[in-house]
Amino acid sequence: MKSVEEHLASCLRGIEVLSPIELQLLDAQGCVLAEDIVASTDLPVFDNSSMDGYAVHSVDVASASPTNPVLLPVVGDIPAGSSAMQRLAPGTAVRIMTGAPLPAGADAVVQVELTDGGVAKVSINGAVPAGRHVRRGGDDVLRGDVVLTTGTRLGPRQIGLLAAIGRDRVLARPKPRVVVLSTGSELVEPGSSAAGGQIWDSNSFLITTAAREAGAVAFRIGIVPDEPKQLLDTIEDQLIRADLVVTTGGVSVGAYDVVKEVMSRLGTVEFDRISMQPGMPQGRGVIGPDRTPIFTLPGNPVSAYVSFEVFVRPVIRQLLGAKTIYRPEVRAASLTGFSSPAGKRQFARGALGVEDGRYVVTPLDGQGSHRVRDLAYANSLIVVPEDVTEVPEGGTVKVMVLERRLT
Ligand code: AMP
Ligand code: MG
């Protein structure tokens, strides 16, 4: 049997970050930037008003008060989007809207609430200091600033900044495309009726969404029966759009476990027994003309999911160029005692929480690798080393955190 470390190392070997491509902003969400972004403009691009009101020379309104208002002629209107008007003469005001360019000469904006709202003349009943309600050009970004650096993961706020400086596309590493299929002649689609030994395919939904959560573009191909020819044809059809293929089921030693048989015809795939629970039978290798990486995960849903978390998620993260490829780990006190198999690393489903400022974890009862309800309640995996057979109540354990939301 191979250790988890040995298998993980062979999974990651030869996996290289995908080459950058030009992406439209909306397609770049979740991708890693592959260039430094230099602003070709100031932001704000021009001095503008942060209020609806009147642009003035502040000295003209220095004496204004409710009992002693200042009356100024209104020489025009500047809506947002209009190009700046000519210089504002001293002793005059111009109506200005939020975001509209400030005319030269004006140094402050009197908000409309401090005025009578006049159109030809305006009565101003409060003073404003120079600079009031004015957003200065370049106070946010200066032309030539490096606003984002290579390696930054592009989320909504970064994409908003790119658009604000006028960029419509960027050089970024694309998301890996992951093709997911379930093998098993017993499988039927959720939503259809399952009779006589049939079960609903859950793995491909579990793994497709887990791959998306890891940052991939995942395609659920769905169910392929345990027929070598059909499996072979399906995988060959899908290779064209895959950076990675993930299958579940068919890797045990049963008479209809066809995955092993088919892989030898597609490429080089090694099948190993890994000293872990769940997830002992694992296959990995490369197939097709482009030597596309493939992972063949065991069929039990919990085994498939744990295998994905331990081996496939780091591979997806590495393809993405992510800064961190592993899940965060914490140490926690186990709220109940439990036993663990000798010679295997156990990944027990856990409910992780915080009590009195320290992490505590409750192992979930049903640890059988077919039990999907406890998997759904888990927010973490408790990692019990190979040489530990008993975790006592209150004992310290290592916990892989799957979700930020703790119990
Ligand atoms: P296998 O590795 O193909 O022998 O499958 C092991 C167990 O997992 C069997 O009980 C299968 O019925 C079950 N299983 C396999 N694939 C799936 C799937 N896609 N969804 C749910 N259960 C599955
Ligand atoms: Mg099967």
Is the pLDDT at 114 greater than 70, yes or no?
A: yes
- In tens, the pLDDT along 120-175 reads 999 999 999 999 999 999 999 999 999 999 999 999 999 999 999 999 999 999 99
- Provide the pLDDT for residue 406: 87
Query: Contact 202/194 with Cβ under 8 angstroms?
Result: no
Lowest mean pLDDT among 69-83, 184-198, 252-266: 252-266
| Shortest-distance Cα residue to atom 5 of ligand 1 | 299
Query: Contact 10/295 with Cβ under 8 angstroms?
Result: no
**Cα separation, 315 vs 319, whole angstroms:** 6
- Ligand 1 centroid – CA 300 distance (Å): 5
DSSP 183-251: E-TTEE-BTB---TT-EE--HHHHHHHHHHHTT-EEEEEEEE-S-HHHHHHHHHHHGGG-SEEEEES--
pLDDT, mean of residues 220-237: 96
**Cα separation, 367 vs 390, whole angstroms:** 15
Give the residue, out of 203, 207, 226, with the most ligand 1 atoms within 8 A of its beta carbon, to mutate for a pocket test. Answer: 203
- Provide the pLDDT for residue 365: 79
Ligand nearest to the CA of 251: 1
Residue type, 377: Y
* Ligand 1 atom showing the smallest separation from residue 251 Cα: 2
Length of the chain: 407
Is the pLDDT at 24 greater than 70, yes or no?
A: yes
Contacts of 308 (CB under 8 A, 6+ apart): 206, 207, 210, 211, 246, 297
- Ligand 1 centroid – CA 301 distance (Å): 7
**Predicted confidence band of residue 205 (pLDDT cuts 50, 70, 90):** very high
Ligand nearest to the CA of 208: 1
- Site residues for ligand 1, CB cut-off 6 Å: 182, 184, 186-187, 199, 201-204, 248-252, 254, 298-301
Q: Where are the alpha helices (DSSP H) in 218-350?
A: 228-238, 259-266, 301-307, 313-320
- In tens, the pLDDT along 347-389 reads 999 999 999 999 999 999 777 888 899 999 999 999 999 999 9
- Provide the pLDDT for residue 84: 62
**Predicted confidence band of residue 257 (pLDDT cuts 50, 70, 90):** confident
Give the pTM.
0.89
Is the pLDDT at 256 greater than 80, yes or no?
A: no
pLDDT, mean of residues 256-265: 88
